[in-house]
Each structure stands twice: as structure tokens, then as C-alpha cells.
């Protein structure tokens, strides 16, 4: 519930949505939690009289300075945004199937929530996109690609307005798949040549549908239109080649492929992040993808992204909790499962810079018949 409070009532742990009343012209960079008294004093110094807070996101002040509490709250918020995004995506698909005009308003709203969350803590949504339902790939894929391009654009320090348009375009990029039959769309095996020709038309359908949306920007349409084009001209639907593919078009193709590689579906297990990065680099060498942008994307996501799973030399599975920018192969992790005995064990926070243990490889939950949703829930409850 959002309520307006006097600046004198503002506490550490409150989630500030925006400035309500003020004597000056101060603007928040982004919505987020108040993390210290210093932040409160800074806001007061800007002649702010009252602020709008979201009470449902308030962190208990007794634990507000605990990093784990902050992370847990931000991950819960990110999951709520992801779930809301899926519901909006489902509504859009229904509108497209019925031939109705698509309403862009909820898309703009939820994309801005994602952008705010990513600016506040880029790792929270990056973690959530690892929690997927096998039978909801179509809904979740577009949401995840929107998250990835937002993360990427922020990493590249693009303007907020540009990021919003990229996020919206990615959110809509696969809307044309509503025009493809389920037999082809969800076929577990390899598509025949004829089926693949039909499948490729989804890009044309997406362009046609997005063009009809009132007030959609040219940039949002551009990234959606270019997501399957390749630098060597072998992409579709228009075989756009080389420099004719904008930087934004090159960005979304990387995000689109990465999510398709790492997502687990009913009939296909996702690749680990390191394996997916290897495939992206291979595609760049073949001049399908922009090699420079691929390397930047990998740095953005991280060799071992927050929320991804790894197998340690001690034969334990662990989740990446915190990156190590100086030594990316030695992040902070939380172990929770023994591969030796194939069962859950007491969780342990491990800083790999302070131990002889090390990461053997990146893994997926499916490799050990584990449910990523349950793993996340367990680790959040524990931490």
C-alpha cells in the first residue's frame, strides 16, 4: 500500500516511491529502500516536505542494515515484478489472438518497474530470470529478454529514455508467435524445413502487430523487428546485413539467443551460463553476432551470474550470492547440496577467495533433478 508520510517520519528500511511535496526541485534517481540515516539527511537538505512510500516493501528497521535482509527483500520485489510481467504478457497474447488493439499502458508501467528495480539492484532481477517454469517459456522468454536488454543497456550507460524503449521493444518482440500453430510452436523435435519457414513468419507478424499499437516508439519497433537478423545476412525476416543492423538490433539478438540457450523447456534442458557464453562467442566468430557486444554482454551478466548454480571442487552445489569484480572466478556463494550423497545439506556461506574450495563448473538444477524455484525459496528462507 502506498502512503504519503512527512519527511520527519522517514526511516531506514522505508521504500520511497517518489517525492510528494517539496520547496525545491529535487528528483529521486530511482525508487528504492532507504539504506542509511545519511540518505535521509540528504533528502531533508533538499527541502523535501513529504514522500510517497510503499509500505508493503518496508524492511524491518532492526534488520534493514543486514545485507541478506536487503537482498531477500529485493529478490521478493523482483519476483513480484516478474510475475506481474508474465500476467501482462498473457493478456497481450490474448488481445493479439482476438485481433484487439494492444494496450501499451501496462507494458510501459511494468517495464519501468523492472528498470527501477535493476537500477536499484541489478542482481535481483538477474537472479529471478533463473527461476522459470518449464511450460511457460513463451510467456517468460519475452519478459526475460526485456530484463536482459535492460541490464545490458544500463551496463552500457545508455540514457534512461532509450532503456525504456529497448525494454518495451523486447517485451513485445515475440508477440507474433501468437499467430503460429501450437503444433509448430511447441514441437519437441527439430522442425522440418516447411515448419521452420512457417515459424520464421512470427517475426513478420510481430512487426505487423506492433506497428498497430498507438504511441509505440520507432525504437521499440526497431529492436523487435531486428531480433532475428544476423550480421552476415543469414537472418530473417529481411536478411538485413552488417552496418544496416543498428547497435540496438545487435543487442537484442544477443539477449534473445542467450535466454533461449539458458531456459529449460518441457522438451529441452537449458545450458549453463558458461556454456551459453561459449556458444555466443562461437556465433560471433561466425559473424552472426557482434563480437564486441558479445564480450560486453558477458561482462555485464558476469562469468558466474548472481542466482546461477555452480558445482564446487568439494562436490557441493552452491548458488552465486555476490560477484567478485576483481577475481570473477572466486565469488561469494552459498552451498546447499551434496553431489556425493545426492541430498540437501546445511547451507554455508563461502567466500571463495578465503578458502581452498573452487568452482569446477557452472551447472543447471535439472542436471540433478532439482527444482530451481524450491532452491531459491529455501535459500531465501534460510537467509
Instruction: Indicate which CATH number applies to the domain containing 97.
Output: 1.10.3210.10
Confidence of residue 295 (pLDDT cuts 50, 70, 90): very high
Q: To the nearest whole number, what is the mean pLDDT of the chain? A: 90
Q: Is 3 helix (H, G, I), strand (E, B) or coil?
A: strand
**Distance (Å) of CA 161 to CA 84, 89, 254:** 22, 22, 21
Indicate if 12 and 124 belong to the same structural domain: no
Quote the pTM value. 0.79
Q: Answer yes or no: are the C-beta atoms of 202 and 256 closer than 8 Å.
A: no
Indicate if 37 and 135 belong to the same structural domain: no
Whole-number Å distance between alpha carbons of 159 and 99: 34
Confidence of residue 64 (pLDDT cuts 50, 70, 90): very low
Digit-coded pLDDT (tens) for 84-133: 999 999 999 999 999 998 999 999 999 999 999 899 888 778 778 877 77
Indicate if 114 and 72 belong to the same structural domain: yes
Q: Is residue 178 one of the residues assigned to a domain?
A: yes
pLDDT of residue 59: 75
Helix 67-98, helix 372-382: angle, nearest 10: 150
pLDDT of residue 203: 98
Indicate if 285 and 359 belong to the same structural domain: no
Q: Answer yes or no: are the C-beta atoms of 104 and 153 closer than 8 Å.
A: no
Domain end position, chosen among 267, 301, 335: 301
Nearest to 319 by CA among 338, 305, 339: 305
CATH assignment of the domain containing 29: 3.90.105
Q: Is residue 71 one of the residues assigned to a domain?
A: yes
Inform me whether the pLDDT recorded for 247 exceeds 90: yes
Residue ranges making up the domain that contains 145: 67-301
In this structure, the dihedral spanned by the alpha carbons of residues 324, 330, 335 and 340, taken in order and rounded to 10 degrees, is: 160
Indicate if 43 and 137 belong to the same structural domain: no
The number of folded domains in the chain is 3
Average pLDDT (16-36) is 84
- Residue 16 is classified by DSSP as E
Nearest to 174 by CA among 146, 214, 216: 146
Indicate if 247 and 133 belong to the same structural domain: yes
Whole-number Å distance between alpha carbons of 49 and 322: 36
Q: Is residue 292 one of the residues assigned to a domain?
A: yes
DSSP run (H or E) holding 129: none
Strand ordering across the sheet containing 359-363 = 343-351, 332-338, 316-322, 309-312, 359-363
Whole-number Å distance between alpha carbons of 96 and 111: 19
Inform me whether the pLDDT recorded for 68 exceeds 60: no
Q: Answer yes or no: are the C-beta atoms of 7 and 48 closer than 8 Å.
A: yes
Q: Is residue 332 one of the residues assigned to a domain?
A: yes
Q: Is residue 323 one of the residues assigned to a domain?
A: yes
Indicate if 269 and 231 belong to the same structural domain: yes
Q: Is residue 62 one of the residues assigned to a domain?
A: no
Inform me whether the pLDDT recorded for 234 exceeds 70: yes
Average pLDDT (17-24) is 90
Q: Is 268 helix (H, G, I), strand (E, B) or coil?
A: strand
Burial call 158-182: b when 16+ CB within 10 Å, e when fewer:
beeeebbbbbbbbbbbbbbbbbbee
- Per-position DSSP letters for 313-377, written without gaps between them: TTSEEEEEEE--SSSTTS-EEEEEEETTTTEEEEEEEEEGGGSS--EEEEE-GGGGT--HHHHHH
Nearest to 251 by CA among 234, 273, 278, 231: 231
- Per-position DSSP letters for 44-95, written without gaps between them: HHTTEEEEEEEGGGPPPTTTTT-HHHHHHHHHHHHHHHHHHHHHHHHHHHHH
Whole-number Å distance between alpha carbons of 202 and 207: 9
Indicate if 286 and 367 belong to the same structural domain: no
Indicate if 38 and 134 belong to the same structural domain: no
Whole-number Å distance between alpha carbons of 72 and 291: 35
Indicate if 77 and 225 belong to the same structural domain: yes
Indicate if 173 and 30 belong to the same structural domain: no
Domain end position, chosen among 251, 270, 301: 301
pLDDT of residue 71: 54
Q: Which of 16-20, 36-40, 86-90 has the lowest mean pLDDT?
A: 36-40
**Distance (Å) of CA 349 to CA 68, 318, 320, 337, 375:** 11, 9, 10, 13, 15
Q: Which of 96-110, 129-143, 245-259 has the lowest mean pLDDT?
A: 129-143
Domain end position, chosen among 274, 301, 328: 301
- For the chain, how many residues are written? 383
Indicate if 179 and 313 belong to the same structural domain: no
Amino acid at each position: 500500500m502506498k502512503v504519503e508520510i512527512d519527511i520527519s517520519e522517514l526511516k531506514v528500511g522505508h521504500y520511497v516511491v517518489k517525492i510528494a511535496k517539496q520547496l525545491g526541485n529535487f528528483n529521486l534517481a530511482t525508487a528504492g529502500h532507504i539504506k542509511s540515516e545519511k540518505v535521509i539527511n540528504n533528502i531533508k537538505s533538499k527541502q523535501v516536505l513529504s514522500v510517497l512510500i510503499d509500505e508493503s516493501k518496508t524492511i524491518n528497521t532492526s534488520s534493514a542494515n543486514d545485507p541478506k535482509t536487503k537482498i531477500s527483500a529485493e529478490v521478493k520485489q523482483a519476483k513480484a515484478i516478474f510475475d506481474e510481467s508474465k500476467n501482462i504478457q498473457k493478456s497481450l497474447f490474448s488481445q493479439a489472438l482476438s485481433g484487439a488493439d494492444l494496450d501499451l499502458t501496462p507494458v510501459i508501467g511494468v517495464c519501468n518497474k523492472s528498470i527501477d528495480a535493476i537500477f536499484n539492484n541489478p542482481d535481483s532481477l538477474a537472479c529471478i530470470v533463473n527461476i522459470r517454469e518449464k511450460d511457460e517459456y513463451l510467456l517468460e522468454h519475452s519478459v526475460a529478454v526485456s530484463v536482459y536488454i535492460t541490464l545490458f543497456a544500463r551496463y552500457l550507460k545508455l540514457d534512461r529514455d532509450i532503456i525504456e524503449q529497448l525494454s518495451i521493444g523486447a517485451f513485445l518482440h515475440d508477440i507474433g508467435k501468437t499467430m503460429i500453430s501450437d503444433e509448430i510452436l511447441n514441437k519437441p523435435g527439430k522442425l522440418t524445413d516447411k515448419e521452420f519457414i512457417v515459424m520464421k513468419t512470427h517475426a513478420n507478424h510481430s512487426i505487423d502487430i506492433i506497428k498497430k499499437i498507438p504511441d509505440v516508439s520507432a525504437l521499440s519497433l526497431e529492436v523487435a523487428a531486428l531480433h532475428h537478423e544476423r550480421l552476415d545476412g543469414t537472418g530473417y525476416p529481411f536478411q538485413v546485413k552488417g552496418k544496416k543492423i543498428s547497435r540496438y538490433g545487435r543487442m537484442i539478438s544477443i539477449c534473445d539467443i542467450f535466454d533461449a540457450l539458458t531456459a529449460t523447456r518441457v522438451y529441452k534442458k537449458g545450458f549453463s551460463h558458461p556454456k551459453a557464453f561459449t556458444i555466443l562467442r562461437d556465433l560471433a566468430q561466425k559473424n552472426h553476432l557482434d563480437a564486441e557486444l558479445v564480450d560486453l554482454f558477458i561482462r555485464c551478466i558476469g562469468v558466474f551470474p548472481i542466482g546461477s548454480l555452480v558445482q564446487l571442487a568439494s562436490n557441493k552445489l552452491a548458488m552465486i550470492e555476490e560477484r567478485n569484480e576483481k577475481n570473477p572466478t572466486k565469488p561469494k556463494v552459498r552451498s546447499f547440496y551434496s553431489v556425493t550423497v545426492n541430498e540437501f545439506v546445511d547451507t554455508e556461506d563461502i567466500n571463495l577467495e578465503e578458502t581452498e574450495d573452487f568452482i569446477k563448473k557452472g551447472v543447471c538444477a535439472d542436471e540433478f533433478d532439482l527444482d530451481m524455484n524450491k532452491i531459491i525459496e529455501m535459500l531465501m528462507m534460510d537467509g
